[in-house]
Amino acid sequence: MLDVHPAHHAASTWRDFLIHIATIVIGLLIAIGLEQTVEYFHHRHLASEAREQLRSEREADEISNEVNIYTTERHQRDLRRDLAILHAVKAHAPLPAGPFIIRRIRYLYPEDSWLKIHQSGTINYISEDVRNIAYRYSNQDAFTTRANESMEALYHASAVLRGENDPPQITFDNNLTDVRFGRALVASHETMSEEAVQQGYASLVEHTDLTKLTPTDIDELERGIKIALVDYDALLTSCFNIKRNLQNNPVK
């Protein structure tokens, strides 16, 4: 802040007094102007940094969204096959070919930059149409929230597949394998061979003897799978909203 000092001698005439007042007013206006100029360039710098951060985050979110579309659609197929297998078990018919998979893969949307510019107030200095950006992030949040709730409910329903003598399905080694596969899937941009995908999904396969489930167990598991399939319609809607938003608002 620029200091404005009055003259050291008192004004002796009205003319001196008015000059004295004008000097103070001009000094204040200069000080305010300088402060606003500094603030303006500071805000421009913050806005430029925020745009670059959002641009990088947008690229990561676009990749995450494509992976989530792929893995959600694939898990829809897994769950439909699970239902066919359970129906065959109930009818004492030959089981359809293919693995029985309950667990799924998904990829998180980075949101650190978006949260940071909100918390710092930098969002107010960005001239772009923030509503379009906010719409994408709201759909990403909707996907994450619905996916968490859906996965938890489905995993609870699949408790009928667990027995007291079953070995643990999750170990540190297969956790590392799953993480490596997830990263490879992201890096491949959906060009990974079907054989490699099948190998990556192998750790998700349930090895429970389904013929030993009770009718009640099967009904409970069927209901959980059907609810998950309804959830997946909502999840894909969020993903497609995000994809449409990205296409309609290209980076400038």
How does pLDDT run across 198-248, given as a tens digit for each residue?
A: 999 998 999 899 999 999 999 999 999 999 999 999 999 999 999 999 999
Whether the per-residue pLDDT at 171 is higher than 50: the answer is yes
* Mean pLDDT of the 103-117 span: 89
Q: What are the CA-CA distances from residue 5 to residues 11, 29, 38, 126 (Å)?
A: 14, 13, 21, 37
* Mean pLDDT of the 163-175 span: 82
Residue 111 token pair: 């949101």
Q: What whole-number distance in Å separates Cα of residue 233 and Cα of residue 241?
A: 12
Q: What is the pLDDT of residues 114-165, one digit of tens each?
A: 888 888 777 777 766 788 889 999 999 999 999 999 999 999 999 999 887 7
Whether the CB-CB separation of 88 and 96 falls below 8 Å is answered with yes
Q: What is the pLDDT of residues 4-60, one digit of tens each?
A: 455 555 556 777 767 767 777 777 777 676 666 666 555 566 677 878 888 899 999
109 phi/psi in degrees, rounded to 5: -90, 120
Based on the number of CB atoms within 10 Å of its own CB, is 157 exposed (0-12), middle (13-18) or buried (19 or more)? Answer: buried
If you write DSSP's letter for every residue of 196-220 in order, what string do you get?
HHHHHHGGGB----GGGS-HHHHHH
Which of 236, 202, 220, 97 has the alpha carbon at shortest distance from 158?
220
Say what the pLDDT of residue 76 is: 96
Residue 234 token pair: 């909502």
Q: What is the pLDDT of residues 69-91, one digit of tens each?
A: 999 999 999 999 999 999 999 99
Say what the pLDDT of residue 34 is: 66
Could you tell me the residue ranges of all domains in the chain? Answer: 60-248
Say what the pLDDT of residue 244 is: 96
Quote the Cα angle for 78-194-198, to 5°.
55
